[in-house]
Amino acid sequence: MSNRNTKVEITDESPAFAKLAVSCGFSVVKQNHVFTFKNLCPYCDQNLSYEADAWEQDEQGLWMATNFDCRCHSEPDIESEEWDEWMRVHSDMPYVYQLPVDEKVKQYIQQHYRFWMSDENHS
């Protein structure tokens, strides 16, 4: 009987992990991956970037994003003179304009991506 450790450590470069993700139909990205969607801002038609900030494990044990931080690429520096006007425009009826966009992006990412967690303490 062999004394070798048979536990396999799976890393983000591991073919076993990639095979699992592909067999489940997902692309795997690092937990800090930023998704950019061109011309998606409902207020100014600029690009929106989304970065996950909360995750949960799916039925296969892969990490799925459940919440995102969204940033419009037209956002000026908070100290600039343009900030107040930009914020006024970009906060008009967010449940009508921004939320539907965010929900569609979340659904798209959840259907196509899983995340490699460099710190497995997320839950």
| pLDDT at residue 119, as a whole number | 59
Cα 9 to chain center, whole Å? Answer: 25
Q: pLDDT value at position 25?
A: 81
Instruction: With respect to residue 35, please indicate whether it lies within any of the assigned structural domains.
Output: yes
Domain that holds residue 83: 23-116
Give the predicted TM-score (pTM) of the model: 0.76
**What pLDDT is recorded for position 115?**
93
Helix (H, G, I), strand (E, B) or coil at 23: helix
pLDDT band with cut points at 50, 70 and 90 for residue 68: very high
In a domain, 13, yes or no: no
Regarding beta strands 113-116 and 27-30, do their DSSP bridges make them parallel or antiparallel, or are they unpaired? parallel
Among 29, 109, 77, smallest CA distance to 101 is for 109
In the chain, how many domains are there? 1
Instruction: Round to the nearest angstrom and report the end-to-end CA distance of the chain.
Output: 37
Residue 1 lies in a domain: no
Coil, strand or helix at 86? helix
pLDDT tens digits, residue range 6-64? 333 334 444 444 455 555 688 999 999 999 999 999 999 999 999 999 999 988 888 99
Residue at 91 is within a domain: yes
Residue 6 within any structural domain of the chain: no
Give me the pLDDT at residue 8, please.
34
Residue 93 domain-assigned (yes or no): yes
Enter the tokens of residue 64.
Answer: 């799925």
Q: Domain for residue 110, yes or no?
A: yes
List the structure tokens of 66.
């459940």
